[in-house]
Amino acid sequence: MRSLQKCFILGKYSIGFKDDFVKYNELKRQYMELSKNAAVEFNDAFFKESMTIQDIKEKALEKGNDIILKNVEVAIKYLINNDIMGIDKDTFIEKYYDKFCTLNKDFTDIISFNFISKGSNIKEVAQSIINSVGNVIGDNYGKNNYIQEILESLSNAIEDNVFKIHYSLVDAMRENGKEYIAKYVMEEEEKLSLALLNNFRDGLIPKEKEEIVVKEIIEKNPYNKELYMYLMNSGEASKKDIYEIIEFLAIDMSEEKSKEKEERTVDGIVFDTLEEAEVAKDELKRIQDIENKIKTGSESDYKEIIEEIRNGDYKTIIKDKHILELSEKLVETIESEDRKIVERYYNTLVFLDQESMKRGIAKIRNLDVRTKKVKEEKIRYIVNRSEKIIKRHRILLERAKRYEVRVKALKTLPKEEKNALIRIISKTIEKGNDIIEDLQERSEREAWRFITNNGTRSIEDVEENRI
Q: What is the DSSP string of 77-88?
A: HHHHHTT--S--
- For residue 414, the model assigns a pLDDT of 62
Residue 238 DSSP class: -
Report which of 310, 334, 341 is spatially closest to residue 324, judged by C-alpha positions.
310
Rounded CA separation 449/446 (Å)? 5
The reported pLDDT for the residue numbered 413 is 56
Burial 62-88 (b: 16+ CB within 10 A, else e): ebbbebbeebbeebbebbeebebeebe
- pLDDT value, residue 184: 96
SS (H, E, C) 135-196: CCCCCCHHHCHHHHHHHHHHHHHHHHHHHCHHHHHHHHHHHCCCCCCCCCCCHHHHHHHHHH
Question: What Cα–Cα distance (Å) separates residue 362 from each residue in 346, 348, 375, 451, 458?
Answer: 12, 14, 10, 19, 22
Supply the pLDDT for residue 120: 38
Q: Report which residue type is found at 221.
A: N
Question: Mean pLDDT across the chain, nearest whole number?
Answer: 86
Residues 6+ apart with CB under 8 A from 227: 193, 197, 200, 214, 217, 218
User: Which has the closest alpha carbon to 183: 193, 196, 192, 174?
Assistant: 174
Residue 162 has pLDDT above 50, yes or no: yes
**pLDDT band for position 56 (50/70/90)?**
confident
pTM: 0.63
| Under 8 Å between Cβ of 154 and 107 | yes
84: amino acid identity, one letter: I
Length of the chain equals 467
Residue 42 has pLDDT above 80, yes or no: yes
Task: Please give the DSSP secondary-structure letter assigned to residue 219.
Answer: H
Sign, CA torsion 247/252/257/258: positive
CA 306, CA 330: separation in Å to the nearest integer?
Answer: 9
Cβ neighbours for 92, distance < 8 A, ≥ 6 positions apart: 72, 75, 76, 79, 168, 172
* Interval 295-353: pLDDT, tens: 888 999 999 999 999 999 999 999 999 999 999 999 999 999 999 999 999 999 999 99
Q: For the residues 376-401, what does the mean pLDDT come to?
A: 94
Distance CA 279, CA 375 (A): 44
pLDDT of the residue at 199: 98
Collapsed DSSP state (helix, strand, coil) of residue 5: strand
pLDDT of residue 92: 97
